[in-house]
Amino acid sequence: MKKNIVLFVLFILPIVAYLFFASGINSFTKLPIITPKVADFGNWESLKGEKVSLNNKITILGFSGTEILKNRGNFFNLNEKIYQQYHTFKDLQFVVICPLGTEKDAKKVVDALGAFTDVSQWHFVFTSPQEINSYYDQLKLVGKLDKNLGTPNVYIIDKVRNLRGRKKNKEYKEGYDTFHPADLSNEMLDDFKVILYEYRAALKKNHNATKEL
């Protein structure tokens, strides 16, 4: 018995502790709300002429700017690191807000992604530069759009339109840099899993409550 206890302390316990801490603090807490109840998109239309809404969807939100083709590598990074793993989740969408006049460039990006990915959850929506600036401002972020109305960052919006992020060193990490695959593979993937866990846990709780009724 003593031998088994010693073996457990020396070998098993350190592994369990490592797995616990390596999972990250966000795996055991809810992802903080940075901006509550952000605005919906209104009458903006997608490439297919459809209306897109934030309501009842987990949304990965981006701002393409006018240089969509120049920055297309960012979309491929996001597609590879996050989208391809989770696009079958029916309540998930990837939305990119683009300036009017960039529809052809956006379609080229979608067509390129569509060569090896089901792009049904990708939505590029279009509006005026003024509305893009106004929409971004109401997100109340520290970071700013560049002169082309774009940013390499993407943001997580939950089903009730709260912008979510992680708290790090007393500051909030607002977005995730699509230019750096490591940022997507590590922090964004970790935070995204937290959001999915929240909703799966809520669904399970509601299901159990229904069964009790």
3-state secondary structure the chain: CHHHHHHHHHHHHHHHHHHHHHCCHHHHCCCCEEECCCCCCCCCEECCCCECCCCCCEEEEEEECCCCCCCHHHHHHHHHHHHHHHCCCCCEEEEEEEECCCHHHHHHHHHHHHCCCCCCCEEEEEECHHHHHHHHHHCCCCCCCCCCCEEEEEEEECCCCCEECEEECCEEECCEECCCHHHHHHHHHHHHHHHHHHHHHHHHHHHHHHHHC
Give the domain CATH number at 208.
3.40.30.10
Residue 191 in domain: yes
* pLDDT reported for residue 8: 54
* pLDDT reported for residue 166: 84
| pLDDT tens, per residue, the chain with 213 residues | 655 555 555 555 555 444 444 444 444 468 999 999 999 998 999 999 999 999 999 999 999 999 999 999 999 999 999 999 999 998 999 999 999 999 999 999 999 999 999 999 999 999 999 999 999 999 999 899 999 999 999 999 999 999 998 876 667 788 999 999 999 999 999 999 999 988 888 777 664 543 443
Domain count, the chain: 1
**Model confidence, pTM:** 0.82
Residue 12 in domain: no
Residue 137 in domain: yes
Residue 24 in domain: no
The tens digit of pLDDT for each residue in 169-183 reads 667 788 999 999 999
* pLDDT reported for residue 172: 78
Quote the domain boundaries for residue 194: 31-212
* pLDDT reported for residue 72: 96
Residue 153 in domain: yes
Residue 160 in domain: yes
Residue 156 in domain: yes
